[in-house]
Structure 1
Amino acid sequence: MEIVVVGRHTDVTDRFRSHVQSKLDKITQLAPTAQRVDVEVTHEANPKLADVSERVELTVRAKGPVIRAEAAADDRNAALDIALDKLVERLRRTRDRRKDHRRNYVLAPVDVRSYDAVQAAEPEPEPQTPRLEKDGDAVEKQLGDSPVMIRQKLHHAEPMTVDDAVYQMEMVGHDFFLFIDKESARPSAVYKRKGWTYGVITLDSKVDGLEPVSDLT
């Protein structure tokens, strides 16, 4: 299993890389098919955020779903421990789910909304902007002359059900998850609402070359 450690706005020492290697060895026990673990370390220079100045994001990439966890603390070793605890718990849930094909949670009624596809013309990327070509590629770009930074990231999408999308969202620890609805062949996004309810936004535009399951005979 390959472990890739990168730093954003910070340097990563060889000592910390070795520490990460020893800590992540246990992942192979819970995810034997894991091919790579991406470890992203970010430093926040704002003194007002000193308590969460070190952020560690862990992403396990395997043949199955991508599992992700992140945490922030005043020390990157502490942030690593917290993120690893979250990751281990999600890996265990994934392993248990494979053992039992029955759903281990009840999906609350979803609020499905359909929107007309908005064909917005996007400006051509500037020559100096790196292209996003493979799963996991990310790039940051400043919005004009403003201090706003926009981070773009490319993700590979497999058609799945709403039920599976909710599960994937929980596994990566996000409040939303983009996916292609297997039943309608439309780009969709599932998101968390209040309590144990979820919502789904579906674009009124089908993916080329993909037939809806409901339309198949």
Structure 2
Amino acid sequence: MELTITANNTTLTDAIKKYAEKRLSILNRRFRDPVPVFLLIRKEQTRKEDERYIAEVTIRMKRGVIRGEMRGDTPYTAIDHVSDTVTRQIRRYKTRYSRKSRKDAAGGLGLAVAEQLAQTTADDTADEGDVQTLAHGQLVRTKRHAIALETVEDAAEQMEMLGHNFYVFRNKENGEINVVYQRHDDDYGLIVPEDAE
């Protein structure tokens, strides 16, 4: 594991670095080859004090990206939470990828989807500088996301692998921007925008 740790709006102490290295070292057992792991620890001013610190882990692999973000009242608890989350995502990713690889071995679709996932998330950027006041809070982060051309099924799988509850994509069937999302009953929904009349 090649761990890169950065901090935003907080001080990155040697104790936090050592703790993160120790806590994330469990990921070494999950991969055969060394993989780059990026940990961003940031502090935000939130209403809930137990959610002030955010630990965000991004793991770039040859065949995809795994990302997790969790909050805590200290950097240590945020690291604990994100470590557990990312470990579960890796397990889920490996299970799904191995099933998909076996299912699509002849056509190589599993590899194509994973490469598309890697390209899509590698192109993500986030802007946190401009804060905009809204009626019921503030808009504090804007993410720019390269939209991939894919099927609804592939979009739902990528949403789960990233640990998100929604995923924006360009539908392969019609070329339109769609949003797949996780419903409260654990099923999926699809938002298909239409022009207002």
| Identity across the alignment (%) | 29
Distance 1:32 1:153, change over 3 A: farther
**Which 10-residue stretch deviates more, 135-144 or 90-99?**
135-144
Distance 1:25 1:97, change over 3 A: same
Aligned mates of 1:201, 1:14 — CA distance in 2: 46
Q: Is the contact between residue 188 and residue 203 of structure 1 (CA under 8 Å) also seen in structure 2?
A: yes
Please list, as runs of the form range in 1=range in 2, the aligned pairs for 1:35-184 lying within 5 A after superposition: 35-46=35-46, 49-101=48-100, 135-140=123-128, 141-143=130-132, 148-184=138-174
Aligned mates of 2:7, 2:77 — CA distance in 1: 16
Considering fraction of residues, name the structure with more helix.
2
SS where residue 48 of structure 2 aligns?
A: helix
C-alpha deviation, 1:170, in angstroms? 1.8
SS where residue 66 of structure 1 aligns?
A: strand
SS where residue 70 of structure 2 aligns?
A: strand
TM-score w.r.t. length of structure 1: 0.67
Structure label with greater radius of gyration: 1
Aligned mates of 1:171, 1:138 — CA distance in 2: 20
Q: Which runs of 5+ in 2 are unaligned?
A: 104-121
Q: Is the contact between residue 59 and residue 69 of structure 1 (CA under 8 Å) also seen in structure 2?
A: yes
Q: Which amino acid aligns with 1:23?
A: R
TM-score w.r.t. length of structure 2: 0.72
Q: Is the contact between residue 175 and residue 191 of structure 1 (CA under 8 Å) also seen in structure 2?
A: yes
Count of residue pairs brought into register by the alignment = 174
Q: Give the CA RMSD over aligned residues.
A: 3.0
C-alpha deviation, 1:35, in angstroms? 4.3
